[in-house]
Chains A and B, each alone.
Chain A
Amino acid sequence: MRSEKIFQILLFFFIFTTLTIVVGIVVSLVTTSSPIFIKYGLDFVFSSVWNPVKESYGILPALLGTLITSTIAISIATPLAISLAVFSSEIIPQRFRSLMNSISDLMASLPSVIYGLWGLYVLAPILHNYLMLPLHNYLGFIPLFSTKPTPTNLFTAGVLLAIMIVPFASSIIREAYTAVPYNLKEAAYSIGMTKWETVRTMLGYIKSAIFAGLFLALGRAMGETMAVAMVVGNILNIPKSLFDMGYTISSLIANQFPNAEAYEYMVPALYGGATILFLIGLVINLVGLYFIKKVMIKG
């Protein structure tokens, strides 16, 4: 019995370590950022002035940048992720399915710095020449496209993020899709539904899983740092169009943290940004997990 006890203690030790780390991260976020919230209150969130010389910090431009890039990403990724999931589990022949899934899983596991390098030198020029410039030239009267685009901007970052999160979202949807009881599909066919109608029924059935996948992917897009820092432009302005260069909270931290110790309040300000990012991410992920739970109960 002795070894059992020790084993238990060992397990407790490791679980305790894990919990300590999680709690430690949250505590260090909150304590380090507290001065900025005490000094500026909500102004920190709603002010657009980021002026270290005058020690005034407002995170709004970066926060907007995070929201805009992840919104672009999720709106592009949604149809793509669902299509990819349906395609790889319904349309292509059985023997190619595992290959297709492998490719999608590989995409999900590529390092973000590789996406960043590729985004900076390959994707950004392509988008700039063949999509953003024409959009600006012909549809420039629409405020969304009103800025004359540079290759790196919020839109490029959004597209790159979309490419990065599609495989992740689609793998969650795919899993739910293939887990749908076979007799549901059979029933659909037996009442004379076409393949598309069957697919639509199935998608309706796994609605929760789709939401879960999209929310978790959205959370991922918001937290992504390196790839975004390389293509977003890194400008602290309130963006006026999709083609403005911008900042996201995580790229702001990556760029400015090394300099931060030189100023009295910049470290708390950046930790404050991290805290806000964490809170938004937490809510989105909890929503995602809620949907996952719903799927599991149903299944």
Chain B
Amino acid sequence: MKTGKILILATVVIIVVIGLLLFSGLLAPATTSVTETKTEIKTTSVYIGTINGAGASFLNPQMQAWASKFYELTKGRISVNYQSIGSGAGQSNFREGLIDFAGSDPPLKKDIYNEFQAKGGIIQFPVIVGTVVVVHNIPNVESEKLKLTGEVVARMYLGEIMYWDDPRIKELNPELNLPHEKIIAVHRSDGSGTTRVFTAYLSKVLEDWKEKVGSDFTVQWPVDQLGNGVGGKGNEGVAAAIKQNQYSIGYVETAYAYQVGLKIALIKNRDEQYVLPTDKSIRSALTALTKILPKAHEDWSSIFPDETVDPPGLDSYPLTSFSFIILKQEYKDPVKVAILKEFFEWVLTEGQKKENIVPGYDPLPPEVAEIGLEGLKLLR
């Protein structure tokens, strides 16, 4: 009989535990969404806790550096947990309410923005500057020598320009000896903000591209159907594919191109100048951009990246972009609000100082950082 009782007891315990786990989860959002420990809120307004975010892989190294530094600064009081799962995934998880904040290369799409506007509002603001470069692997051409225009690049990915000695490329590079070799066009195979920015640029410079392909996290690459396309997962996948395929072309985040030593191509900007992503060309682009950027609580989808790519300015680098943080205006848990505010205020001020920026990224100009700082005031 004793065993019987033990058994019953064991079962009851298990069922209760499982039940509790499930229901604590189900009920929790109605009260407060977390059990973060609040200490001395009234006296010193110091909060302890964790915020969970996920999204853009481009942002990840910089986010980890910030989170790591901030954890040290607050002596372990605040942990910022950011997981690199991709911009698209970050946005959809944020929409489902699975994470506290999303990191994303492009801002929210119009319909998702409206959806959030209808229930409490949203803020989204740039946290770091990122640029995309066009890279190539032509054995006898060195880095920063090949000149390209957006239109030519678009036609390569359309499969219309198939060989490196095509007159349209030769015309731009009279001094280079370009071989009669097939162009292998490398692109991202996963959903990516980099692809979104790159295809927005191609759409802007070539109407044909806009009609046939468009711009999104993942698109169907016309060049794939001709068998001359290769996809790679993540920046590293693209880099690997470029290194392994001679006579290939591709696009990656600038930081990454320098890190693994890919050959970078010059791109013609709107004012007919061939430019590389340098401090000067990025600053020039940002100066042109700042005028058209909306406020944090407004809809960015119509402006970024479709309007911000290829900005005017003699020195401007055309593929200059931002990475965004997306927050809700309303959180059920006041502790979470306080922590989010504290962390992102630091990111937008101290975090932009040179010593806190990972090599390969560029800090925001103060007037762009101001967009986020203003936006954070709406948090409640």
Which positions in A face B, CB cutoff 8 Å? 2-3, 6-7, 10, 13, 49-54, 148, 150-152, 233-237, 240, 245, 247, 255-256, 258-262
CB of B139 within 8 Å of the partner chain: no
* Count of CB-CB pairs between chains A and B under 8 Å: 96
Whether B217 is near chain A, meaning CB under 8 Å from some CB there, is yes
A13:B233 contact, CB within 8 angstroms: no
Digit string of B208-230 for contact with A (CB within 8 Å is 1, else 0)?
A: 00000110111110001001011
Cα separation A259 to B133 with both chains bound (whole Å): 24
Which of these, B3, B93, B216, contacts A258 with CB under 8 Å?
B93
Asked if B1 contacts A3 (CB within 8 A), the reply is yes
Could you tell me if B7 and A262 are in contact, using CB atoms closer than 8 angstroms? no
- Cβ–Cβ < 8 Å partners of B3 in chain A: 3
Q: In the complex, A50 Cα to B240 Cα: how many Å?
A: 23
Q: Using known A-B contacts A255-B233, A258-B86, determine if residue A7 contacts B220 with beta carbons closer than 8 Å.
A: no
| B230 proximity list for chain A (CB < 8 A) | 235, 245
Query: B240–A150 contact, CB under 8 A?
Result: yes
Is A236 in contact with B231, judged by CB distance below 8 angstroms? yes
Q: Which of A2, A152, A259 contacts B190 (CB 8 A)?
A: A259
B293 at the interface (CB under 8 A from A): no
CB distance from B114 to the nearest CB of A (A): 15
Residue of A nearest to B15 (CB): A13
**Whole-angstrom distance between the Cβ of A33 and the nearest chain B Cβ:** 18
Type the 1/0 row for B186-224, where 1 means its CB is closer than 8 Å to any CB of A.
000111000000000000000000000110111110001
Tell me the bound Cα distance from A173 to B88 in angstroms: 46
What residues on A are CB-neighbors of B95 within 8 Å? 261
**B241 and A150 within 8 A (CB):** yes
Instruction: Report the interface size for chain B: residues with CB under 8 A from the other chain.
Output: 39
A148 to B245, CA, bound (A): 8
Q: Are the C-beta atoms of B92 and A255 separated by less than 8 Å? A: no
Distance, CA A203 to CA B237, complexed state (A):
45
In the bound complex, do residue B231 and residue A150 qualify as a contact, i.e. CB atoms below 8 Å apart? no
Return the contact of B216 from the options A52, A255, A261 (Cβ within 8 A).
A52
Determine whether B255 belongs to the interface, using a CB cutoff of 8 Å to chain A: no
Check A258 against B233 for contact (C-beta < 8 Å). no
CA distance A255 to B190 in the complex (A): 7
Given contacts A13-B11, A49-B220, A240-B227, 11 further A-B contacts (CB under 8 A): A3-B1, A3-B3, A51-B218, A52-B191, A151-B244, A152-B240, A234-B190, A235-B232, A237-B227, A258-B89, A258-B93
A53→B214 contact, CB < 8 A = yes
Q: A7-B4, A150-B245, A261-B96 in contact; A256/B191 too (CB < 8 A)?
A: yes
Q: Which residues of the partner chain A approach B109 to less than 8 Å between Cβ atoms? A: 262
Whether B233 pairs with A262 at a CB distance below 8 angstroms is no
Taking a contact as CB atoms under 8 Å apart, the answer to whether A262 and B4 are in contact is no
* Residues of A close to B67: CB separation below 8 A: none
Chain B residues 1-58 with CB under 8 Å of chain A are 1, 3-5, 7-8, 11
A234 interface neighbour in B220, B237, B245, Cβ under 8 Å: B237
In the assembled complex, B91 has its CB within 8 A of some CB on chain A = yes
Is B85 an interface residue, CB under 8 A from the partner?
yes
In the complex, the answer to whether A52 meets B218 with C-beta atoms within 8 Å is yes
Bound-complex Cα distance A53 to B216 (A): 7
Contact residues in A for B217 (Cβ distance below 8 Å): 52, 259, 262
Please, could you name 14 A-B residue pairs with CB atoms under 8 Å apart, sorted by A? A6-B4, A50-B220, A53-B214, A54-B220, A233-B231, A233-B232, A234-B190, A235-B231, A237-B231, A245-B231, A261-B89, A261-B96, A262-B89, A262-B191
The residue of chain B having its C-beta at the shortest distance from the C-beta of A52 within the complex is B218
**A residues less than 8 Å from B191 (CB atoms):** 52, 256, 259, 262
B212 to chain A, nearest CB (A): 11
CA distance A49 to B216 in the complex (A): 16
Interchain nearest-CB distance for B185 vs A (Å): 12
Q: Which residues of B contact A52 (CB under 8 A)?
A: 191, 216-218
Residue of B88, B227, B240 with highest tally of chain A CB at under 10 A:
B88
Q: For the complex, give the distance between the alpha carbons of A262 and B196 in Å.
A: 13
A-chain residues with CB within 8 Å of residue B245 when the two chains form the complex: 148, 150
Chain A to chain B: the 5 pairs with minimum beta-carbon distance, closest first: A3-B4, A261-B92, A258-B89, A259-B88, A51-B220
Tell me how far the C-beta of A250 lies from the nearest C-beta in chain B, rounded to whole angstroms. 15
Measured between beta carbons, the chain A residues less than 8 angstroms from B227 are: 237, 240
From residue 75 to 108 of chain B, which have CB atoms closer than 8 A to chain A? Answer: 85-86, 88-89, 91-93, 95-96
A53 contacts B219, CB within 8 Å? yes
- Our pick among A6, A50, A235 for the contact of B7 (Cβ within 8 Å) is A6
Contacting residues, chain A, for B190 (C-beta < 8 A): 234, 255-256, 259
Q: How far is the CB of B235 from chain A (nearest CB, A)?
A: 13
Residues of A within 8 A of B92 (CB): 258-262
Q: Are B4 and A258 in contact (CB under 8 A)?
A: no
Residues of B within 8 A of A262 (CB): 88-89, 91-92, 109, 191, 217
Residues of chain A lying within 8 A (CB to CB) of residue B213: 53
Chain B residues with CB under 8 A of A245: 230-231, 241
With both chains docked as a complex, state the minimum distance between the C-beta of B17 and any C-beta of chain A, in angstroms.
14
Q: How far is the CB of A150 from chain B (nearest CB, A)?
A: 4
For residue A115, give the distance in angstroms from its CB to the closest CB of chain B.
18
In angstroms, how far is the closest chain A Cβ from the Cβ of B176? 24
Quick one: which of B1, B233, B237, B245 has the most chain A CB within 10 A? B233
Contacts of A240 in B (CB 8 A): 227
Least CB distance from A67 to B in Å reads 20
Are A150 and B244 in contact, with the CB atoms below 8 A?
A: yes
A53 to chain B, nearest CB (A): 4
B residues in contact with A148, CB < 8 Å: 245
Query: Residue of A at shortest CB range from B187?
Result: A235
> How far, in Å, is B226 (CB) from chain A's closest CB?
11
Given the complex, which residues of B lie within 8 Å of A3, measured CB to CB?
Answer: 1, 3-5, 7
A248→B237 CA distance, assembly (Å): 17
Give the CA-CA distance A261 to B86 in the complex, in Å: 12
A54 vs B222: C-alpha distance in the bound complex, in angstroms?
13
B220 in contact with A2 (CB, 8 Å): no
